Amino acid sequence: MRWLVTGAAGFVGSHLVDRLLDDGHEVTGYDNLSTGRLEFLEGAGRNDRFRLIRGDILDPAPLRDALHGCDGVAHLAAHADVRFGTQHTRADLDQNVIGTWSVLEAMRDAGVRRIALASTGAIYGDTAVFPTPERAPFPVQTSLYAASKLAAEAYVQAYCEGFGFQAVIVRLVSVLGERYSHGHVFDFVKQLREHPERLDVLGDGRQRKSYVDVGDCVRAMALALREARAPVEIFNVGSDETMTVDESIGFITARLGVEPRIAHGGGERGWPGDNPLILLDCSRIRALGWQPRSSIRDAVERTVAFLVENHWILERP
Amino acid sequence: MRWLVTGAAGFVGSHLVDRLLDDGHEVTGYDNLSTGRLEFLEGAGRNDRFRLIRGDILDPAPLRDALHGCDGVAHLAAHADVRFGTQHTRADLDQNVIGTWSVLEAMRDAGVRRIALASTGAIYGDTAVFPTPERAPFPVQTSLYAASKLAAEAYVQAYCEGFGFQAVIVRLVSVLGERYSHGHVFDFVKQLREHPERLDVLGDGRQRKSYVDVGDCVRAMALALREARAPVEIFNVGSDETMTVDESIGFITARLGVEPRIAHGGGERGWPGDNPLILLDCSRIRALGWQPRSSIRDAVERTVAFLVENHWILERP
């Protein structure tokens, strides 16, 4: 099959490109390079089953060209930082909601009907059910980012019913690993390189979340794409472990060999709309034979090692 | 209080204007008159606590002016016809998703933080739980219209968490009564005036849905606005009765005194994404003391009487 991967030069996107190439597929990468990095596609670029098109998902013309000859789309392009939704409310709307609609319309024009959407466990919002299954009680949203991802999911689902699309939606916990380029481990490593004696932490440090290694993550996505049969298939993807922010600080400082004074901002939420606990029931994807190979601690340590070896990424605007 | 009512010249909007005026509030109506009708505001126009501003929810300037001096917003402006989502996929996105975001942003600018949103029971999509409660298992969406309304809900909820808004969301079944101006009763009456001997029906006639009279509907909304305390309160609003399409045909033809030949299009869904059954668990709003006063049959008959007395409305484009 030939897959179009939007957000191909991003953290998860570039790993999915590698995974699909390893599985023997042809891959067209699509990225506007606003946050994606060509460096992440160096390996893929050496594979003659890969091509890259630079374009924005909101721009129909290059998107139509990119879709030419594709059998399906893995839609990973997104405004992906949950913490800053309230600072620029239009970014999630444009890139995640209108962007997804734009991809769906281009697919309809091109007659391409298979789509995989990277969504988020944050859409369980105010849930009180842990671990949270895909059919948890209808939640109330707590962040602009999750609201935009829920809207994207809803549009994908409606296209399945209205236009005969087939969709795989993966709801991801926070992803760690090589090429990680935003999030709390990034921020902590960056701070500790600038001032190893002090670490400023949002919230009380006790927010507890599940994480998944990016290699495990894209293995789950590729498996779901291969096995899905129903018009809409939804899979939570995460590990059964959790880690608190304070625990991650322990792993990071040990790996860096520093002993900073920790200054907690206080409050159980790191930012408005933060979920103090994210832990997903992943039995659906596990029933297909998937399980994470990497522990959260391993994933944190490899993330730190990657950031130290590629410190250019810490200096980007 | 002074309420801004968007979609004030629409079917439900104009009734809510009347209700809020009856309850002693001041009301600013806001409508672009794309589908709204000034005729619906004739009564309100005679009340000096009412003013009307013509403008579009996507246009920030008149919206900002309209919000001046308001304490809350009842956001009813929407692209409201669930059946035609697949024919113009951008309409729901623009008017329901981006439009709601635009209203929320204007409120944020103006420092107005109370909002009521008219949503729909269609967002329960593929649910298997009937009657369906507000916290039903997380559903899969089946129509573009419902997807857009779910997105609107999610944005409203995220603004409550992110910006301290307080929201009342009402999920309505199909609404009937005076000023009804789209939907199956409208289509059937229009057809039967043009050719009383034949009636073309989408689907197999057995889709079974709950309905609510518009007077009962706006009474529920006004009650929810008065009683809601939590940051986000969600209420299903419908009757505990259902009516099949074929039953409604019986009520309509009896009222019109015609005996058409019925031509069913076939299939359990009237259109792509139609829900064959909509029946909501309304115990939350009932616990506040609300119950419908009108039966579905009464509501259908008054709808038909209204359309016959106001047949100009059947001839609009």
The model's pLDDT over A219-241, given as tens digits with 9 standing for 90+, comes to: 999 999 999 999 999 999 999 99
- Does the beta-carbon distance from B272 to A134 stay under 8 Å? no
- Does the beta-carbon distance from A146 to B162 stay under 8 Å? no
Write out the two tokens for B188: 């059937």
Instruction: Please give chain A's pLDDT, 317 residues, in tens.
Output: 999 999 999 999 999 999 999 999 999 999 999 999 999 999 999 999 999 999 999 999 999 999 999 999 999 999 987 677 788 899 999 999 999 999 999 999 999 999 999 999 999 999 999 999 999 999 999 999 999 999 999 999 999 999 999 999 999 999 999 999 889 999 999 999 999 999 999 889 998 999 999 999 999 999 999 999 999 999 999 999 999 999 999 999 999 999 999 999 888 777 777 777 899 999 999 999 999 999 999 999 999 999 999 999 988 75
- Does the beta-carbon distance from A158 to B146 stay under 8 Å? yes
Hey, how many other C-beta atoms are within 10 angstroms of the C-beta on A152? 30
Of B85, B138, B151, the CB nearest to A138: B138
Of A85, A148, A158, the CB nearest to B162: A85
Q: Which domains does chain B have, with CATH numbers?
A: 2-175+212-237 (3.40.50.720), 176-209+241-315 (3.90.25.10)
- Does the beta-carbon distance from B98 to A101 stay under 8 Å? no
Structure ipTM: 0.96
- Does the beta-carbon distance from A157 to B273 stay under 8 Å? no
One-letter amino acid of A30: Y
Instruction: Say whether residue B236 is in contact with chain A using an 8 A CB cutoff.
Output: no
Closest-CA residue of B relative to A83 is B162
- Does the beta-carbon distance from A134 to B138 stay under 8 Å? yes
What is the reported pLDDT for B317?
A: 59
Q: pLDDT tens, B224-279?
A: 999 999 999 999 999 999 999 999 999 999 999 999 999 998 887 777 777 778 99
For residue B288, the SS3 value is coil
B157, B165, B235, best to mutate vs chain A, most A CBs in 10 Å: B157
Instruction: Say whether residue B27 is in contact with chain A using an 8 A CB cutoff.
Output: no
pTM of the prediction? Answer: 0.96
One-letter amino acid of B123: I
Instruction: Please give chain B's pLDDT, 317 residues, in tens.
Output: 999 999 999 999 999 999 999 999 999 999 999 999 999 999 999 999 999 999 999 999 999 999 999 999 999 999 987 677 788 899 999 999 999 999 999 999 999 999 999 999 999 999 999 999 999 999 999 999 999 999 999 999 999 999 999 999 999 999 999 999 889 999 999 999 999 999 999 889 998 999 999 999 999 999 999 999 999 999 999 999 999 999 999 999 999 999 999 999 888 777 777 777 899 999 999 999 999 999 999 999 999 999 999 999 988 75
Of B140, B148, B272, the CB nearest to A162: B272
For residue A61, the SS3 value is helix
Contact B146, B123 (CB under 8 A): yes
How far apart CA B230 and CA B194 sit, in angstroms, is: 50
Q: How far is A109 from chain B (nearest CA, A)?
A: 13
> How many angstroms separate the Cα of B117 from the Cα of each of A16, B73, B100, B151, B169?
39, 8, 9, 12, 5
Chain B residues closer than 8 Å to A90 by CB: 101
Chain A residues closer than 8 Å to B120 by CB: none
What is the reported pLDDT for B275?
A: 79
- Does the beta-carbon distance from A162 to B144 stay under 8 Å? yes
Hey, how many other C-beta atoms are within 10 angstroms of the C-beta on B252? 23
Chain B residues closer than 8 Å to A272 by CB: 161-163
Report residue A294 CA to chain centroid gap: 17
Task: Cite the DSSP H helix spans in chain B.
Answer: 11-22, 42-45, 60-67, 89-92, 99-110, 144-163, 184-194, 214-227, 245-256, 283-287, 296-309
E strand or H helix at A175: strand A174-176
Contact A176, A185 (CB under 8 A): yes
Q: How far is A102 from chain B (nearest CA, A)?
A: 10
Chain A residues closer than 8 Å to B104 by CB: 89
Handedness of CA B281, B285, B291, B296 (dihedral sign): negative
What is the reported pLDDT for B248?
A: 96
- Does the beta-carbon distance from A161 to B273 stay under 8 Å? yes
Based on the number of CB atoms within 10 Å of its own CB, is A263 exposed (0-12), middle (13-18) or buried (19 or more)? Answer: exposed
Convert A39-60 to b/e letters by CB count within 10 Å (16 or more is b). Answer: ebbeebeeeeebebbebbbeee
Chain B residues 136-165 with a CB less than 8 Å from chain A: 136-144, 146-148, 150-151, 153-155, 157-158, 161-163
Contact A271, A83 (CB under 8 A): yes
Closest CA to B73 of B128, B2, B156, B153: B2
Using alpha carbons only, give the angle A60, B104, B45 rounded to the nearest 5 degrees. Answer: 110
- Does the beta-carbon distance from A158 to B135 stay under 8 Å? no
Instruction: Say whether residue B96 is in contact with chain A using an 8 A CB cutoff.
Output: no
Question: Which residues of A are the active-site residues?
Answer: 145
Contact B66, B40 (CB under 8 A): no
Question: Which residues of B are the active-site residues?
Answer: 145
Write out the two tokens for A223: 């498996």
Q: How far is A135 from chain B (nearest CA, A)?
A: 5
Chain B residues closer than 8 Å to A163 by CB: 86, 272
- Does the beta-carbon distance from A232 to B150 stay under 8 Å? no
Instruction: Say whether residue A121 is in contact with chain B using an 8 A CB cutoff.
Output: no
Hey, how many other C-beta atoms are within 10 angstroms of the C-beta on A62? 16
Name the E strands within A32-173. 50-54, 72-75, 114-120, 166-172
Of B86, B141, B162, the CB nearest to A154: B141
Instruction: Say whether residue B69 is in contact with chain A using an 8 A CB cutoff.
Output: no
Give the rounded percent of residues in chain A with a pLDDT score beyond 70. 99
Closest CA to B271 of B201, B209, B199, B203: B203
A94, A124, A161, A275, best to mutate vs chain B, most B CBs in 10 Å: A161
DSSP label of B52: E
What is the reported pLDDT for B268?
A: 79
Closest-CA residue of B relative to A122 is B158
- Does the beta-carbon distance from B150 to A154 stay under 8 Å? yes
Instruction: Say whether residue B97 is in contact with chain A using an 8 A CB cutoff.
Output: yes
Closest-CA residue of A relative to B234 is A140
Based on the number of CB atoms within 10 Å of its own CB, is B281 exposed (0-12), middle (13-18) or buried (19 or more)? Answer: middle
